[in-house]
Amino acid sequence: MAFFYPFRKSIIFQRLSQLLFVVLLFSTSTRADDGYRLWLKYDRLTKVQPILQNLQGIITPSDSPILKVAAEELQTAIKGLTGKTLAIQKTANSASIILKINPSEGVNNEGYHLSRSLGNLVISAQTEVGLLYGSFALLREIQTLQPLEKLNVTSSPKVQHRLLNHWDNNNGSIERGYAGSTLWHWFDLPDVIDPRYRDYARANASIGINGTVLNNVNASARFLTPEYLKKVAALADVFRPYGIKVYLSVFFAAPKTLGGLKTSDPLDPEVKRWWAEKTKEIYTLIPDFGGYLVKANSEGEPGPQDYNRTHADGARMLSEALMPYPQGVVMWRSFVYKADPNGDRFKEGYEEFKPLDGKFDPNVLVQVKNGPIDFQPREPFHPLFGAMPQTPLVMEFQLTQEYLGFATHLAYMAPLFKECLDSDTYAKGKGSTVAKVIDGSVHGYQKTGMAGVANTGSDRNWTGHPMGQANWYAFGRLAWNYSLSSDKIAEEWIRLTLTNDNKAVSTIQDMMLHSRETLVNYMTPLGLHHIMGNSLHYGPNPWLAKNARPDWTSVYYHKADEKGIGFDRTESSSKALGLYAPEVQKQWSLAACPPEYLLWFHHVPWTHPMPSGRILWDELCHRYYEGVAGVARLQLQWDSVKSQIDPELFTNVKGRLSIQHREALWWRDACVLYFQTLSKRPIPEGLEKPTRTLEEVKKLVDVYQIR
């Protein structure tokens, strides 16, 4: 025994040393904020309101899966925020959080009412899912330090279908994804359920999102195989207690590629039968399946036009397959355009879908991008909004920053969303905003929806850029209530996610509210659009003149020459402006057009006078330079809140702002130097001349196009 004692002692010491190292490592890592918890952090409050201190329990009317989730979320949150552990029970013996089904409550079937009754905090709703949303809303009130003594909040969602669209592929990649690979571990499903799926569902439920399209709109037919439908069903099981339905993007030609049929013609009886049987198979596995999203006859994807059929014909085939399942819908995307060197891509979706108004089945919604081109940093609202009174339209926003610098650029997108939602279509006179079109109040749509192309991925912090989380949050909040302001949503997110220090909140809120306009200035000021790098859509490439299609080039859009710049969409040229109501046409006429939309609708001389008192060329230069200066201000503002921000998170954002400043300079130099070759005018006095030549900038751009 004496022989082994020193050896055993050394082993024990080694194990204790390793354990101590692990404990120290764990304690250090738990102090750091890696962004995983999003806005559901539930860290201890510095000051707990008396009504919270007195709570003893959580009263729930049942232990159904949804109410179990709601009660456990409240229990976890109150424990983290106050240190108190509340018992979950059926009856109240003392002050409690009470979840109460109340059919007479003045809300819709997903809405809720929050109130205080004596020493209780009461969440009431018509349905269990309403109580779930109300539970998260109560926690938001607590986390953002709202006074609870006079709690009285009533809220219902403005639209029915509030969806994330994931452009995820079965090989693990994400199209236009900048936060890692897919969230869904397809090769592990259905046997291995990643805990992250539940946290994803929690985050979505907390902001009112009730649906998720799991796969890319450039769909693979493999998602309709029995193998993959079982995987989808496993995800649906995780999401169901959080009020979230799953949807699938479908490959239109699946009857041929997967079913072995000779055709995918939507009028062919065998094709219709195939889709009906496939739909029945899906609902057998997923009884609450949400329905189909379709990209057809767009950018090379197959569709009904391959068989000389219309989009309405294609949608009807799927809607008929869904008829036995009343909750199922078809969302048919309007993003279609032909490669016409003499045309205007701005008009394509309108010209294809406007004639089909009233020809879609009742369970079909047409999904329309916020603008007529493609998720640009600034776009006018799509002319289809207000132009299809007999067809429900779903708004499609993009959260992933395909054209906004990817996940290295700070761009708070709530102002972009609001700019579109608050735009007046004048479809039925003044006040017919885009928001009121999509919520059904203008045209009486029975089905309504809003979709956001997700910016999530496998990165630990979900969105790559930590502050990209705010765009996910803002989308959910606006899909629930589009009347919320950008600044209110920003303040909520900051207090939930970063800090409750008032001075820091004000500084970060200012950063966020100016970030998108700063980005527009150094990328596409005054209505320029689609002048980014080829294929990747990364970096500046205003000189791009050759591509597989003319409407994938930059010169197609900016039309710059020695006389001037901008795309003439007036009556004298493409006539795209004429797609809008007369009142909208007037506000974007040359005489009245705000500078932000000038080059969207008009080709104007370099000497065109601007409201600032400058000529167009000088104004363009000043905007590019202001964009760079704006990023420098963001850097200084972020540095000023260092003491109030978690060190890991602070360092992450600081590094990304450094990248953003470097790339803003890149954009400025590339665009100013290129457009100068056409304007033949000097860079205005007072603006520092670029230190590199146009050729040097072009070489830098070329590096990013190498495959």
Cα 134 to Cα 110: distance, rounded to the nearest angstrom: 9
In 10 A of CB 347, how many CB atoms?
20
Asked if 357 is an active-site residue, the reply is no
Q: What is the DSSP string of 532-589?
A: B-TTT--SB-TT----SSGGGSSHHHH---SSEES---STTTT-GGGGS-HHHHHHTS
Write the DSSP symbol of residue 198.
H
Cα 558 to Cα 259: distance, rounded to the nearest angstrom: 45
- Supply 536's token pair: 């990747």
Cα separations in angstroms, 617 against 14, 588, 611, 697? 71, 20, 13, 20
- Supply 12's token pair: 């024990």
Half-sphere exposure of 210 (CA within 13 A, CB side): 24
Asked if 299 is an active-site residue, the reply is yes
SS3 174: strand
Bridge partner list, 250: 294
What are all long-range contacts of 677-684, with beta carbons under 8 Å and residues at least 24 apart? 678/560, 678/561, 678/562, 678/565, 679/562, 679/565, 679/606, 679/617, 680/562, 681/606, 681/617, 681/618, 683/621, 684/614, 684/618, 684/621, 684/622
State CA 186 to chain mean position distance: 23
34, 194, 199, 374: which is the annotated catalytic residue? Answer: 374
Cα separations in angstroms, 503 against 285, 414, 509, 641? 52, 22, 10, 8
SS3 114: strand
Cα separations in angstroms, 504 against 317, 473, 510, 610, 656? 54, 19, 10, 36, 19
Residues 6 or more apart in contact with residue 258 via CB below 8 angstroms: 221, 222, 224, 225, 251
Cα 132 to Cα 460: distance, rounded to the nearest angstrom: 26
Cα 332 to Cα 353: distance, rounded to the nearest angstrom: 11
Cα separations in angstroms, 656 against 29, 32, 35, 586? 22, 18, 15, 41
At 397, which helix (H) or strand (E)?
strand 393-398
Cα 331 to Cα 213: distance, rounded to the nearest angstrom: 11
Whole-angstrom distance between the N-terminal and C-terminal Cα of the chain?
A: 66
105, 402, 517, 568: which is the annotated catalytic residue? Answer: 402
Q: Which of 311, 334, 299, 342 is nearest to 575 (CA)?
A: 342
Helix axes 269-285, 226-239, angle to 10 degrees: 40
In 10 A of CB 440, how many CB atoms?
18
188, 299, 340, 696: which is the annotated catalytic residue? Answer: 299
Residue 450 φ/ψ, nearest 5 degrees = -145, 130
Cα 285 to Cα 297: distance, rounded to the nearest angstrom: 30
Residues 6 or more apart in contact with residue 225 via CB below 8 angstroms: 258
Cα 679 to Cα 564: distance, rounded to the nearest angstrom: 7
Order of strands, sheet of 112-117, starting from the edge strand that comes earlier in the sequence: 87-89, 57-59, 96-101, 120-125, 112-117, 152-155
Residues with active-site annotation:
299, 374, 402
